[in-house]
Chain A
Amino acid sequence: MNPRPIARRAGALGAAALAGCALLDVRIADPEDVIIAEVQVLLTHEWNGNGTSFEAGALLHRTFQREETPTLRGSTVVISEPTKGSVRLEERRDVEECVIPSPQGRDSIPGELAPNAVCYRANVALSPFDPGDRLSLEITAPDGRVLVGSSLVPGAFDLVELDEEDGRCRLDPDTNYRFQWRFAENAWSYLADARLEGLRLPMAQRDIDSPDTLYLLGFAIDAEDSTLVFSSEFGIFEFFAATDEERDVIRELRRGLPGGVGATVAMAAADRNWVNWERGGNFNPSGEVRIPSVFGDGTGVFSTATRRVVRVRATEFRPGAPPLCGPAVS
């Protein structure tokens, strides 16, 4: 994998500071109307032999427009595999079924910039598709524009040396646990996405004014790196955009998960489309360049991942509590 020189961010700041001379605003032509499709498929391997569930969401929006643009409502979004059939995603009234409204308790959906975003979803208890399948995407907008894409679903993977009960386990307060997994075929990277809840009270006891819920990402990208320590190795990406309080929380979490805090940790083996869209392309001063996997009359991402979900709580041992996830690590 190529180096991602964080240095260039610092270099950009340096260049801008040295330039010290802004050019005046110039009015430019209206932007092109480009449809953006963000389609995400998750195959979740359920615990206790309950098979694989299928979850798909498609957020259709478009480049910022000044004028009223034709709605994307009424589009068709179909995911298919030649031998296993297809799933047509249903249009939802509420865009929040595709978008988390306030992931860190402070951001919001910029409705004024994307007024026409439309959400499509499908939730199927027993997945019609399997890990390793190559899925196709076809989106047809009401005005006839067509977007297509393709994704190779990563193989199934197992978490190893995890002691759980129906996907639940516990940590002793202020300790960390090392998640370990076996490799999934065709996975480009492993994401450990955690939603931490119940932070406010334990953090207040440490004089930190914390939001109650916090999302933190852990990332394992190297083929030889199949472990990730929870919670100390989570939050590297959030750290730079965090508020001072959130930063203090992330620092505290490096010591381990505070008592009373619960976490839902999704370990996902992500495909190439997912990784490319998230990490971006070459430098552009006007915004992030995203590497698409949807083409045709628009752009976007068609990503797939296989997932295991573990619910972790930091608590002392008590009868009826789920088992200890595993040995604590410093």
Chain B
Amino acid sequence: MSYRLSRAAVLGAFCALVAPLGAAAQEGAVAGRVRSAEGQILAGAGVRLQALADSSRVRLAQTDRLGFFELGEVVPGVYELTATKIGFEPRRVEVRVDDAVVQLELVLATRAVELGVLRVEAARSRALERFVESAGITVQEIEREAMKSIPGLVETDPIRSIEVLPGVGTVSDFSAAFNVRGGSADQNLILLDNVPIYNPFHLGGLFSVFNADMVERAELRAGGFPAEYGGRVSSVLVVETDPGDGEPSVDAGVSLLASRAAVDGSLPAGLDGKLGLAHSRWRVSGRRSYFDVLVRPWTSFPYYLTDMQGVFEGWTPGGSRIRVTGYSGRDVLDISDVGDNPLPLRWSWGNDAVGLSWAHPMRGGSSMDVATHFSRFSSDFELTEVEARFRTRVQEAGATANFELRPTAQLRWKSGVSAKDLGYDYGLKASGTTFGESRGEGLGLSAYSQVGWDSGRSWLIETGLRLDHWEPDPGESVTTVAPRFAVKRFFGDRTAAVRLAGGRYSQFLHSLRDEEFPLGIDIWVLAGELAPRIVSDQVQMAVEGFFGNNDWFASLEGYYRTYDGVITINPADDPGDDLDDVLRGDGWSYGLDLMVRRDAGTTTGWISASFLRTERTFPDLLSGVDPPPSITYPPVFDRRVDIDLVLSRSLTWWGLEAGLRANFGTGTPYTPVLGQFDMYRQRAVEGRVYYDNATAVALGDRNSARYPVRHRLDISLRKRLERSWGSMVPYLSVVNLYNRKNVLFYFFDYGADPPTRTGVSMIPLLPTIGLEVSF
């Protein structure tokens, strides 16, 4: 099937997509905006409209991300409208409704509450709001406090914390890279405040670059994306920065990995005014590993990491929000000058990113937002002794504009456009010879339009169309027409539902990283002459609902996905042909994800269980046959069963907060070694071979064996100590409490008598301690 359209057709379709819809309210309605006394928009506030003449006539709504709400089809009469939000005093006003739309501006005063309760309630209200308002998308959210309660490796890691969500798997303990529902790791879009971050990992993938003190929440969108989403086919992980509350404060911490500090505050009121702002807040942080500094008096340690992150958020008197986010991080490994090191090398890699967004609310719940961003990742690896250098780089600059309109209480229409310019290059040179080199650029233009219709009681239907146009250089332009649909049928009091969603998704970049290798960095390439785009068709169906006073949530979701145009590195490429560096293939996945979650009570947490099957088909280069036949196999991230239990509980004993994470799952695939043989190399000057003092392997069918069942139990204990100047939280985290030897990989030794198989395990029992300070 051809996916190509002419540019004229693309533009024509784009115009059709963004053409406004006409609609008019037929009955009385109440709409408005809720904000704090300081001018901050209050998203997720509850709005209750109760008829004074008949207290059983009640309508409910929640404010959207810009603080707007709308209650349509209101019978004329006199009502009491109450706006509530955790942390604020309720606001009550009397409203007289006739056949027109009543517009209100509600200002809530701040009320002191316990912070933990506020966050739990805020998360729960967001989950409820999403459940009611979105038809198809699968979203799981983890708040910062929940992240910190999940036992982790050395320190809280926002990306590692999502490993415990349904449908999310990892190949090993060593890599924070994750796979969602049978997709490869490069099919996950990772956004920091809507700025894409490429290869967001320190230490070759062991930790993510995100400092948990700067993160408000992480939200994983695992499937059923409406038309507004594009760019990756498997998932979107949104990491949202916490801009603080505007009050000056400091959060600092030290772990076995690094020390860190985050400072937040607001601009002086006079400066806010000069900038045209009603209110502002900012937060900046810095983090650095310290081991090299600690041991410097005695010896040199060759590695360190640094990162800095900042966010500024300003609100105009009209309610518009301006947000600036910045990130810069670097890892440096330098053993070029360490003693008698036979392999002197220097390796530096890291990210830089900046984003600017403007969100403007309009009357009736409509809104417009515009954003621009720049992001880049680069790595430079150098073997200094032999003048060998491997470098890789990817960068993206983009802009988006979205417009959302609510013509009636039932209809929601959203459209948008985006443009992004990407570039990549990589190259390996040594001793004057270029062993591999590639570079390319691409311009991506996207437009979408989606309509949501809410019947008011039982049905929520979303449909949309997205066009993704890609102009690579070198390469031919392609356009993906991506229809999306979602249907949700509610039951009961809109607390249970069945939903069905599907659509087509496309992706125009890939990573050449060998996922079979435990650690490593991404080598990005763009679709074009070298690599195809990925087109993925997906369908998913779920049964889900809240119960137990909305304290509990359960969902069961099945899905099927195809992947056309996936790639892998071509180890048998022609050195003289720049266009055969990758092998092209396809694949599919299907599975079932179950989640039961408890959001309130002394013990909170969830259990998730995922069943997955996925396969990939590529040319079989180990067949010896030219041209190679195809081989179909499960990729290394095909973990058939993956069960996670996450619990958090306040203990009466010493006021400790306890966290637990248990993981149980089937082993991942590997290629069995059937035999080994002596490694000879050809010597052209002699016309003979020589023994290279090494062994080569004869392999069985690709990934036809599996490592044993993998399981692990992690625990954490945190103790909050309140002091006059602030608070301290010392913590203990123990990874792999019972020291399970999960297999990282096997070594086969057929030269031994008898032949043996040994191995290396993943992370053994590893206790770590740390301290967090806030004032």
Contact = CB atoms under 8 A, between A and B. Distances in A.
B675 interface: yes
B416 to A, nearest CB: 36
Interface of B: 174, 204, 206, 333, 340, 342-343, 345, 347, 379, 381, 383, 385-386, 388, 390, 392, 426-428, 430-438, 512, 514, 516-521, 523, 569-578, 581-582, 621-626, 671, 673-699, 741, 743-751, 753-764
Interface string A11-26: 1101110111111111
A4 B436 contact: yes
A4 B763 contact: no
Query: Which 10 interchain pairs have the tightest Cβ spacing?
Result: A63-B675, A295-B624, A31-B675, A23-B759, A266-B685, A292-B624, A268-B684, A287-B697, A193-B685, A103-B690
Contacts of B673: 284, 286-287
A307 interface: yes
A172 interface: no
B571 A113 contact: no
B622 to A, nearest CB: 7
A239 B163 CA distance: 42
B690 A100 contact: yes
Q: Which of A5, A66, A98 has the most CB of B within 10 A?
A: A5
B636 to A, nearest CB: 11
Interface stretch (A36-44, A79-87, A125-133, A163-171): A36-44
A11 B517 contact: yes
Given A3-B435, A8-B517, A236 B430 contact: yes
A61 to B, nearest CB: 6
Given A2-B570, A286-B747, A189 B671 contact: no
A278 B569 CA distance: 17
6 contacts: A3-B428, A22-B760, A24-B758, A28-B755, A99-B680, A305-B684
Contacts of A222: 433-435, 437, 575-576
Given A32-B698, A63-B698, A19 B761 contact: yes
Contacts of A62: 677
A7 B390 contact: yes
A21 B764 contact: yes
Interface stretch (A70-78, A200-208, A213-221, A317-325): A213-221
Interface in A276-328: 276-295, 299, 301, 303, 305, 307, 309
A49 B365 CA distance: 88
B684 A307 contact: yes
Contacts of B174: 15, 18-19
Contacts of A98: 688-689
A305 B682 CA distance: 11
A275 interface: yes
A288 B698 CA distance: 9
Nearest to B744: A19
A117 B755 CA distance: 20
Contacts of B699: 284, 289
Q: Which of B516, B695, B764 has the most CB of A within 10 A?
A: B695
Given A3-B392, A64-B751, 10 more contacts: A5-B523, A97-B688, A98-B688, A110-B691, A191-B684, A281-B622, A286-B673, A287-B673, A287-B676, A288-B697
Contacts of A8: 514, 517, 520
Contacts of A97: 688
B339 to A, nearest CB: 13
B434 A2 contact: no
B436 A40 contact: no
A160 interface: no
A42 B682 CA distance: 11
A291 B46 CA distance: 64
B708 to A, nearest CB: 10
A178 B58 CA distance: 89
A5 B428 contact: yes
A224 B525 CA distance: 22
A110 to B, nearest CB: 6
A234 B129 CA distance: 67
